[in-house]
Amino acid sequence: SQGPISGVNKDIAVLQCHGDCDPLVPVMFGSLTVEKLKTMINPANVTFKTYSGMMHSSSLEEMMDVKQFIDKHLPPID
């Protein structure tokens, strides 16, 4: 069983991405998920990005946002 989120994990940064035309996982479910996440960890560290016209797939814009998020939150590898 999982206990409550505590310690350093409360401050983890989360990027959640969702296409607003996803036919498999409606964007409303993404919104509900992000609101639940904000009750579990520091809400200031939760980012929800939607992509206009994107279905259950990915896009260059989304991948650039993921890259930017990783570059911001992970130390560089020498």
Q: How far apart are CA 20 and CA 25, in angstroms?
A: 10
Q: Domain for residue 5, yes or no?
A: no
Token pair recorded at residue 45: 């560290």
Position 3 in a domain: no
**1 occurs within a structural domain:** no
Question: Considering the entire predicted model, what is its pTM?
Answer: 0.85
Domain holding 60, by residue range, is 12-71
- Whole-number pLDDT of residue 75: 82
17-61 confidence digits (pLDDT tens): 999 999 999 999 999 999 999 999 999 999 999 999 999 999 999
Task: Indicate the number of domains in the chain.
Answer: 1
- pLDDT at residue number 29: 97
| Three-class DSSP category at 30 | helix
